[in-house]
A and B are shown apart, each in its own frame.
Chain A
Amino acid sequence: MPKWITQVGCPYCGSSCDDLEVLVSDDGKKVLETRNACVIGNEIFHHASNPNRPTRPRMRQEDGTVKEITYDEAIDYTAKALLKAKKPLIYGFGSTNCEGMSAVGRVAEKAGAVLDNCASICHGPSFLAIFDNGYPSCTLGEVKNRADVVLFWGCNPMHAHPRHTSRYSIFPRGFFTTKGNMQRTIICVDPRETDTAKLADIHLMIDQGHDYELFDAFRTVLRGHDIPDVVAGIKKEQILEAAGKMKNGRFVMIFYGMGCCHTDGRNHNVDIAISTTRDLNSHTKASIMAMRGHYNIAGPGQVWSWQFGFPYCVDLSRGTHAHMNPGETSSIDLAMRDEVDCFVNVGTDAGAHFPIEAVRHLKKHPFITVDPNICMASEISDLHIPVRIVGVEEPGVVYRMDNVPIQFKKVVDGPDGVLSDEELFDRVYERMCELTETEPIWILNRGHAHGSSTAEQ
C-alpha cells in the first residue's frame, strides 16, 4: 500500500513549509502525490524520481565529454585539488542541510579555503546592515498571530515564496488576528505592479533604485517633520497615508527582499529599513525580516557563526584565524580579481546565477560541483558529484527565514550508492587527512556531537 507521510518539509524557498503530505510508493522509492505544496514544491518532490538523474560522479575528459567514475576516485580528486590550491573557494549551500554545511566547514578549515554561501549574492548586504544597526526581528508565528499592518518592500512573495502569504503574512487567522486578511492592511513598495502589489491595499510604485529616499521620507514623517511633494516618485499624500496606517497599526511587520539588496545602496537600504523599524517602535510595535530565498540559506549563517564566528565570506586561508570582509573575501569579488585557484560549488548553481564574467574567471582553475541534479555549474565542471536530495531523500536540520530551526524528514530512499553531502565531505576530509598524514580530529570528535541528530530518523 502506498503510504502518506505527513509534516514533511519542503526544500525550496525560505518559507520552509513543514506541513506537506507526500504519498510514497510501496517500495518507499517513488513519490506519487503531494498535498499542500505550491507548484514549485510539488515539482521538487516529483523531479526526485527522474530517471535521467546522474547517480555516479562524472569526470570531464580532454575532449569535453564526461565519463562516470567511482565515489572513491571523486573524493580523491576533490581532496587533492583542495590541498593543491593556495586559496580554494567553497561556495553555495542554498540547498543542503546544516549537517552538510558543518562537514564542509571542517573540509574548508583543513584546506585553508574561503567559505561562502549564496547570501553573498543575495542577502549579504542585510548581514552588513545587521552588524551595524541590529535586527529587531521576530518569528513568522508572531507575524501570523499579531501583525495587522504588513509591508512588503522590494519583495514579491507571490512568486518567490508562494505560500508565505497564506501561511504567515496576509491570509492566516491568528490569535490576535482572528479575521485573517480582513484585519490586515497590506502595503507594497515595488517599481512593478507585481502579483504581491495586486494584493496590497496600498501600492507605492517607487522609482526603481530610490528606496533609501523613500525610507528616509517615512522616517521624517514619523518624526513629525514635513517632506517634499514627491519623493522617489511617490506623492506626499500617499506617503502620509501609508505612514498613518503604520502608526495606527498594533503590530507592523516589514518584509524586504532583493529590491533593497540587489540595487544601488545595498546595505544602506537595509540599514535605513532597520532604523525605520526602530522609529516605528516609538509609536507602536514593529518588526522587520529579510525574505531569505532558500529553505535553509539561513543555515550556513548559523552553522558557520558557531564554527568560525562569521556567517559568510569566511576566509580560512590564513590558517590561524578566520577573517571576513565582504568586498574582499566575497565570492564574486574574489573571482573577478582572480584570487582563487579552485572552485567547489555545493548545492547551488553558480553557473546560472553568477554574472557570466565571474563564471569565466572561476573556470580557469579546477571546478567541482556537488549537487543532486544536472545544472549549469555541473555542465561546465571538471567533476560533478551527485548527492542525495535534502528534504526528499535525506533528513536534516534547516533554518527557516526567521532563523527557526526545523527538522526536515526524508520521504524516499535515494538512488543506490549515492552519498549525502555530509557523508561525501566527511570522506573528503578523511582523505585530506590521509594525504597530509594528519589526525582526522573532527571525525574522531564527531560521534558525540552527531549521535543525537541521526538517531531521530
Chain B
Amino acid sequence: MKEKIVLNMITQRAIEEGQAMEKGKTTPEYFKACSIVEMNPEDMKKLGIWRNTNVRVTSEAGSVIVKAIEPTQYVPPGLAHIRQGVWANQVVPPRTQSTGTPQYSGFPVTIEPAIDERIKTALELVQGAVGLWKEGGN
C-alpha cells in the first residue's frame, strides 16, 4: 500500500454528464455525475482504498476532492478519468501548446486518500475560486 499514486489523467464527456448539465449545474444529478474519478481497481488496491472513497487529485494546476469509483467504461491501470466539468477543471492545466486548447487530457496527477474530506459543490468551487462563495450559498 502506498500513500499516493501518480496516474495519467484524461477528462472527457459522458452521457450522464450531458443529461445532468442540461438539468442544471447546481443540481444533485450534476454533482453525482461529475464529482468522481474513475480508476482501475488495481490502482485502488495500490493506494489502499475501497471504491467510493474520497480522494484528493492534484496536478500542476491545482487540486480537488472527488470520489474514486470503479470505471463505468473500462480504464486500464495507470490511467484515470474525471468527466468533463467543474471538478475536472480544477486540475486541468491551462497550457495550450500554442494552439489555444488546454491540456484537458494526458497530464500527470497525484492521487491520495482523503477519506475525511468533503467534496465541494460546483458552485462552491467556482464561486470560491473568484472570492464570491458565502457559506450557506448565495
Contact = CB atoms under 8 A, between A and B. Distances in A.
B100 A40 contact: no
Contacts of B125: 356
Interface size class of A (residues with CB under 8 A): 35 or more
A327 B96 contact: yes
Interface stretch (B43-51, B111-119, B127-135): B127-135
B101 A208 contact: no
B106 interface: yes
A43 B23 contact: yes
B126 to A, nearest CB: 5
Contacts, number: 188
Contact of B103 (A262, A267, A312, A356): A262
B100 A121 contact: yes
Contacts of A375: 25
Interface in B46-94: 61-62, 71, 73-76, 79, 81, 84-86, 89-90, 92-94
A120 B101 CA distance: 6
A42 B43 CA distance: 37
A158 interface: yes
A120 B104 CA distance: 12
A291 to B, nearest CB: 10
Given A40-B18, A352-B122, A327 B84 contact: no
Contact of B25 (A259, A262, A335, A376): A376
A146 to B, nearest CB: 27
Given A330-B96, A333-B96, A358-B94, A205 B89 contact: no
Given A12-B18, A43-B22, A195-B73, A376 B122 contact: yes
A262 B104 contact: yes
A51 interface: no
Interface string A320-364: 000000110011110110000000000001011111111110010
B15 A192 contact: no
A264 B106 contact: yes
B86 to A, nearest CB: 5
B123 interface: yes
A301 interface: no
B24 interface: yes
Contacts of B18: 12-13, 40, 159-160
Contacts of B12: 156, 159-160, 258-259, 262
Given A156-B12, A332-B96, A380-B132, A47 B101 contact: no
A332 B14 CA distance: 23
Nearest to A358: B94
B97 A266 contact: yes
Nearest to A41: B22
A327 B22 CA distance: 31
Interface residues of B, number: 53
B126 A379 contact: yes
B46 to A, nearest CB: 18
A351 B62 contact: no
A85 interface: no
Nearest to A191: B79
A379 B123 contact: yes
B106 A263 contact: yes
Contacts of A336: 94
Interface in A106-152: 116, 120-122, 124-125, 128
B102 interface: yes
A193 B100 contact: no
Given A352-B89, A354-B89, A356-B90, A193 B102 contact: no
Interface in A250-279: 258-259, 261-264, 266-267
A313 interface: yes
A25 interface: no
Interface string B3-31: 00000101111110011011111100000
Residue among B15, B97, B100 with most chain A CB within 10 A: B100
Contacts of B110: none
B38 to A, nearest CB: 9
A61 B97 CA distance: 38
Contacts of A208: 8, 10, 79, 105-106
Interface string A39-68: 110011001001000000000000011100
Interface of A: 12-13, 38-40, 43-44, 47, 50, 64-66, 116, 120-122, 124-125, 128, 156, 158-160, 162, 191-195, 197, 205, 208-209, 258-259, 261-264, 266-267, 293, 312-313, 326-327, 330-333, 335-336, 349, 351-360, 363, 373-376, 379-380
13 contacts: A158-B15, A160-B15, A191-B10, A262-B103, A326-B100, A330-B101, A349-B25, A356-B62, A359-B129, A376-B122, A376-B123, A379-B126, A379-B127
Given A12-B18, A349-B25, 20 more contacts: A116-B100, A121-B102, A122-B101, A124-B101, A128-B99, A156-B12, A192-B75, A193-B74, A208-B106, A262-B12, A262-B101, A262-B106, A312-B100, A327-B100, A332-B101, A333-B98, A354-B102, A356-B126, A360-B129, A374-B26
The 9 closest A-B pairs by CB, nearest first: A330-B100, A327-B98, A193-B74, A263-B106, A262-B104, A326-B100, A355-B94, A209-B106, A43-B22
